[in-house]
Amino acid sequence: MFRLSRAAEYAIRGMLHLSSKPDLEATGIEEVSKAQDVPSAYLAKLFQLLAKKGYVRSFRGAGGGFALAKSPKDITLLEIIETLEGRIFLNDCLIREGYCPKDNVCPVHDVWREAQKKFLEHLNNCTFEQLAANAIKKQKLRG
């Protein structure tokens, strides 16, 4: 079963919060932590990793915090998941050609390959700009 780690889930929530901020403004870790119900120390470590990968910038000092390093329209859900999890494989047989000795004869292999292709395409088409817009719509519906 494919399942996101807690780290990936928290990173996504943090990125979503930063994506909702205007003009990539810096946001304190405590604000993000409280709003997304994520432990602040853990979130800070995740943001440091995302900063090393070029998705987040950190700012020191009184007005410090974190901000997206690029526009949310240019960051996909797939990128953030793979930054935390590594490449996604729905089944071991998809890791590389020949990894499974039954690649060429197993009829399920083709199903896994197609499912993975569609899954990865879907995640790659989900930008944080879209996710932030959907979050705003959902908040308005809840009143």
Residue 1 included in any domain: no
Residue 76 included in any domain: yes
Contact 74, 67 (CB under 8 A): no
Best CA proximity match to 68, nearest among 54, 82, 56: 56
How far is Cα 3 from Cα 128, in angstroms, rounded to an integer? 20
Q: What is the pLDDT of residues 13-34, one digit of tens each?
A: 999 999 998 876 789 999 999 9
Residue 14 included in any domain: yes
Helix, strand, coil percentages in the chain from 3-state DSSP, rounded to 5: 60, 10, 30
Q: What is the pLDDT of residues 90-116, one digit of tens each?
A: 888 888 787 777 877 888 888 988 999
Residue 55 included in any domain: yes
Note down the domain range covering 98: 6-142
Best CA proximity match to 39, nearest among 49, 26, 29: 29
Residue 137 included in any domain: yes
pLDDT at 63: 73
Q: What is the pLDDT of residues 59-87, one digit of tens each?
A: 887 777 999 999 999 999 999 999 999 99
How far is Cα 54 from Cα 64, in angstroms, rounded to an integer? 18
Residue 1, token pair as written in the block = 């079963």
Residue 62 included in any domain: yes
Best CA proximity match to 46, nearest among 29, 28, 25, 59: 29
How far is Cα 93 from Cα 44, in angstroms, rounded to an integer? 35
> How many domains are there within the chain?
1
How far is Cα 124 from Cα 118, in angstroms, rounded to an integer? 10
Residue 73 included in any domain: yes
119: domain CATH number is 1.10.10.10
